[in-house]
């Protein structure tokens, strides 16, 4: 391909209508505490994975809410399941289980189960 010296920027916009909310719905079904999340970010600030990578559980939950599956795939496997976030969360969200269920949802999607 001829290089014209510029590239097309990927669309950063969240298109809520076009989003797929199946990961969020799957998680919520077995872990309703996801609805307690108020996006305070305490989990992310306590998280060892967040310190060294782009990973943030707070944002992961938001991306799931917005139906941004690509964004979830980018970081959902960074979690080490250490559980620090559970202690940190002021709302008692069962954070680690949420990441686990998100990974499970991704597996199920790849198997066309959801």
Select 9 or 76, whichever has its Cβ closest to ligand SF4.
Answer: 76
Site residues (CB under 6 A) for ligand SF4, limited to 43-62: 43, 46-49, 57-58
Select 80 or 91, whichever has its Cβ closest to another protein.
Answer: 91
Question: Which option in another protein, ligand SF4, none does residue 27 bind, with CB closer than 5 to 8 A by kind?
Answer: none
Site residues (CB under 6 A) for ligand SF4, limited to 22-41: 37-41
- Asked if 14 interacts with ligand SF4 (CB under 6 A), we say no
Question: Which option in another protein, ligand SF4, none does residue 35 bind, with CB closer than 5 to 8 A by kind?
Answer: another protein
Q: Which residues bind another protein (CB under 8 A)?
A: 12-17, 28, 32, 35-39, 58-59, 62-63, 65-66, 91
What own/partner pairs with CB < 8 Å and gap ≥ 24 does 33-41 have?
Answer: 33/91, 33/92, 33/93, 33/94, 33/98, 34/61, 34/64, 34/93, 34/98, 36/91, 36/92, 36/93, 37/61, 37/91, 37/93, 38/91, 40/90, 40/91
Q: Six-digit token pair at 89?
A: 């969360």
Distance CA 57, CA 99 (A): 8
Select 37 or 68, whichever has its Cβ closest to ligand SF4.
Answer: 37
Closest to 65 (Cα-Cα) out of 110, 103, 114, 102: 102
């Amino acid at each position: 391909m001829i290089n014209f010296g510029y590239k097309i920027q990927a669309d950063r916009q969240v298109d809520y209508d076009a989003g797929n909310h199946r990961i969020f719905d799957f998680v919520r079904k077995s872990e309703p505490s996801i609805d307690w999340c108020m996006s305070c970010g305490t989990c992310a600030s306590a998280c060892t994975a967040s310190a060294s990578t782009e990973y943030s559980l707070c944002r992961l939950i938001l991306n799931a809410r917005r139906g941004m599956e690509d964004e979830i795939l980018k970081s959902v496997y960074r979690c080490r399941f250490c559980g620090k976030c559970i202690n940190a969360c002021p709302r008692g969200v069962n954070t680690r289980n949420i990441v686990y269920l998100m990974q499970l949802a991704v597996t199920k999607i790849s198997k066309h189960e959801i």
